[in-house]
A and B are shown apart, each in its own frame.
Chain A
Amino acid sequence: MKRSNQEHINPKLFSARPLDKGRRTFILGLLGWAFSSTAAQAKGFWGSPVKTNHLRPPGAVSEEIFAARCIRCGRCAEACSYRSIKILDIRSGIFAGTPLIEVEKTPCFLCMKCGEVCPTGTLRPLKPEEVRMGVAVINTRQCVTWRAVALCRTCYNVCPFKEKAIHLDRLRPVVDEKFCTGCGICVHGCPVSPKAINVEPL
Chain B
Amino acid sequence: MWSKKFKYQRVRLLVQAGAFLVILLNPLVIYYSKCSFVQGWYQSLAIGKLWFVSPLEGLESILVSKTVYFPLVIGLLPPVILALFLGRVFCGWICPINFLSSLVDRVFKRQGAKDQVVLPLWLIWFSLIGELMFSMIIGAPLFVFLSPPGLVGREIMMVVFFHTLALEGIIIVVVLALNLVTKRFFCRYLCPLGALLALLGVRRRLIVKLEAEKCKGCRRCGAVCPLGLAPQRGQAQGPYCWNCGTCIDVCPHQALTFFWRSGGENTSLHRGQNDTPPQGE
Q: Contact partner of B53 among A78, A86, A87, A119, CB < 8 A?
A: A119
C-beta contact mask, B147-172 vs A, less than 8 Å → 1, else 0? 00010011001100110001110000
Report yes or no: B58 in contact with A87, Cβ–Cβ below 8 A: no
The closest CB in chain B to the CB of A87 belongs to B158
C-beta contact mask, A157-185 vs B, less than 8 Å → 1, else 0? 00000000000000000000000000000
C-beta contact mask, A41-69 vs B, less than 8 Å → 1, else 0? 00000000000000000000000010111
A195 CB within 8 Å of chain B: no
B67: A residues at CB distance < 8 A? 65, 69, 121
How distant is A83 from chain B, measured CB to nearest CB, in Å? 7
Q: For chain B, which range describes its interface: under 10, 10 to 19, 20 to 34, or 35 or more residues? A: 35 or more
Contact A90/B145 with A71-B61, A119-B71 known, Cβ cut-off 8 Å: yes
Across chains A and B, the number of contacting residue pairs, with CB separation under 8 Å, is 110
Report yes or no: A74 in contact with B144, Cβ–Cβ below 8 A: no
Q: How far is the CA of A69 from the CA of B44 in the complex (A)?
A: 14
Report yes or no: A74 in contact with B157, Cβ–Cβ below 8 A: yes
The listed residue with most B CB atoms (<10 A of its CB), out of A69, A94, A117, is A69
A89 CB within 8 Å of chain B: yes
Q: How far is the CA of A66 from the CA of B144 in the complex (A)?
A: 13
The closest CB in chain A to the CB of B56 belongs to A71
Report yes or no: A72 in contact with B150, Cβ–Cβ below 8 A: yes
B60 CB within 8 Å of chain A: yes
Report yes or no: A75 in contact with B44, Cβ–Cβ below 8 A: yes
A202 CB within 8 Å of chain B: no
Stretch at the interface among B34-42, B179-187, B212-220, B267-275: B34-42
B17 CB within 8 Å of chain A: no
A91 CB within 8 Å of chain B: yes
Contact A97/B154 with A71-B141, A89-B166 known, Cβ cut-off 8 Å: yes
How distant is A115 from chain B, measured CB to nearest CB, in Å? 11
A120 CB within 8 Å of chain B: yes
Report yes or no: A68 in contact with B141, Cβ–Cβ below 8 A: yes
A113: B residues at CB distance < 8 A? 36
Q: How far is the CA of A69 from the CA of B34 in the complex (A)?
A: 27
Q: How far is the CA of A154 from the CA of B168 in the complex (A)?
A: 41
A144 CB within 8 Å of chain B: no
Report yes or no: B39 in contact with A79, Cβ–Cβ below 8 A: yes
Q: Contact partner of A68 among B64, B150, B162, B166, CB < 8 A?
A: B64
Q: How far is the CA of A74 from the CA of B41 in the complex (A)?
A: 8
B41: A residues at CB distance < 8 A? 73-74
Report yes or no: A71 in contact with B154, Cβ–Cβ below 8 A: no
Main secondary structure of the interface of B (DSSP, over half): helix
C-beta contact mask, B55-73 vs A, less than 8 Å → 1, else 0? 0011011001101010110
A96 CB within 8 Å of chain B: yes
Report yes or no: A67 in contact with B157, Cβ–Cβ below 8 A: no
A81 CB within 8 Å of chain B: yes
How distant is A86 from chain B, measured CB to nearest CB, in Å? 7
A83: B residues at CB distance < 8 A? 161
Q: Contact partner of B154 among A68, A86, A87, A120, CB < 8 A?
A: A87
Report yes or no: A96 in contact with B145, Cβ–Cβ below 8 A: yes
Report yes or no: B34 in contact with A81, Cβ–Cβ below 8 A: yes
Report yes or no: A72 in contact with B144, Cβ–Cβ below 8 A: yes
A136 CB within 8 Å of chain B: no
Report yes or no: B75 in contact with A119, Cβ–Cβ below 8 A: yes
Contact A117/B39 with A71-B54, A83-B161, A89-B168 known, Cβ cut-off 8 Å: yes
Contact A71/B144 with A89-B166, A89-B168 known, Cβ cut-off 8 Å: yes
C-beta contact mask, B256-268 vs A, less than 8 Å → 1, else 0? 0000000000000
B46 CB within 8 Å of chain A: yes
Cβ contacts A to B, 23 pairs, < 8 Å: A68-B65, A68-B139, A68-B141, A69-B64, A71-B44, A71-B60, A71-B144, A72-B57, A72-B145, A72-B154, A74-B153, A74-B157, A75-B39, A75-B46, A78-B161, A87-B162, A89-B168, A94-B140, A94-B145, A97-B145, A119-B53, A121-B69, A121-B72
B residues with CB within 8 A of A: 27, 30, 34, 36, 39-41, 43-44, 46, 51, 53-54, 57-58, 60-61, 64-65, 67, 69, 71-72, 75, 138-142, 144-145, 150, 153-154, 157-158, 161-162, 166-168
Beyond A71-B57, A120-B72, list 4 extra A-B contacts (CB 8 Å): A73-B57, A83-B161, A97-B154, A121-B71
